[in-house]
Amino acid sequence: MGKERIGRETEMRGIYILVEGVTEEEFVEKVLAPYLIKYEIYDVRPILMQTSPGFKGGDVKYVRYKNNAERLLHSEKDVVVTSLIDFFRLQSDFPNYSQGLTMFDKVERVEFLENEILKDTNHPRFIPYIQLHEFEGLLFSDIEAFNILPELSPDQQKKLKQIVDEYPNPELINDKPETAPSKRLKQIIPTYKKTLHGPYLAEEIGMEQILKQCPRFAVWVNKLILFFEDKKN
């Protein structure tokens, strides 16, 4: 991307968030955007990016991720562009992806990849964010919210609690592909459907609880807020 300078006098209109699927799209619309209103950020839009020719959603390839970001940054001069994509779904064409995988610490791994994206894109209005490990991790911020599912049994609730108790925070829930948060939810609650239950549960949990329990997610949201506050001062 070409270099662009923005000063404090440059007023930002809103935030466009690249998402990979309809679940994240609804999450932004129903949970994140309403939360940001109290910080006087009124135009928060999810942008469902094209992840393969003629198809939106699914695995994320870097070339398409970058193309989507560039298109928005060039066409909208007064918005911040960011992303909400799952680490679990990234393709190996992301900058220095293989090097990132050699890092033992999961948080360092994702932060390394975000920094590599930032170096490659080199744009002051672009804030790349990768969710560790995937969107469903956020839903473990409050397992009591799952009680809104009429089919949930006490045994299933107990299994959800056991998972939460195993990890320092919900974002770290994952050991290998078959134990990703979405896979665990499907194993415990066979009727779970991401597009149906994901946004519904996130609304029930609420942003305050998600921010409290998910430190990387909280840093990202705070970074967006601070970007706008800096332009006001």
DSSP string, 68-102: HHHHHHHH-TTEEEEEEEEGGGB-TTSTTHHHHHT
- The beta-carbon contacts of 145-152 under 8 Å, at least 24 apart in sequence, are 145/201, 145/204, 145/205, 146/189, 146/201, 148/200, 148/201, 148/204, 149/189, 149/191, 149/197, 151/189, 151/191, 152/189
Q: What is the pLDDT of residue 6?
A: 54
Instruction: Mark whether 150 and 179 lie in a shared domain.
Output: yes
Shared domain check, 26 and 54: yes
Q: Please check whether residues 49 and 73 belong to one and the same domain.
A: yes
Query: Are residues 120 and 189 both part of a single domain?
Result: no
Binned average pLDDT, 10 residues per bin, the chain of 233 residues: 54 93 96 97 93 63 94 94 94 96 94 98 97 95 96 96 97 87 95 94 98 98 92 65
Quote the pLDDT of residue 232.
66
Q: Are residues 146 and 175 in the same domain?
A: yes
Identify whether residues 57 and 33 lie together within a single domain.
yes
The number of folded domains in the chain is: 2
Expressed in percent and rounded to 5, the helix, strand and coil fractions of the chain are 55, 15, 30
Same domain, 81 and 172: no
> What is d(CA 69, CA 71) in angstroms, rounded to the nearest whole number?
5
User: Does 198 share its domain with 108?
Assistant: no
Looking at the fold, whether 127 and 143 belong to one and the same domain comes out as no
* Residue 4 within a domain: no
- DSSP state at residue 4: -
Residues 44 and 74 in one domain: yes
Do residues 122 and 153 share a domain? Answer: no
Domain assignment present for 5: no
Pair (44, 100) in one structural domain: yes
6 within a domain of the structure (yes/no): no
Distance CA 23, CA 202 (A): 10
**Euclidean distance between CA atoms 198 and 191, whole angstroms:** 12
CA distance 205 to 217: 15
Note down the domain range covering 27. Answer: 14-134+208-232
Q: Residue 11's pLDDT is what?
A: 80
Q: What is the distance between the alpha carbons of residues 127 and 138, in angstroms, rounded to a whole number?
A: 20
End-to-end CA distance of the chain: 27
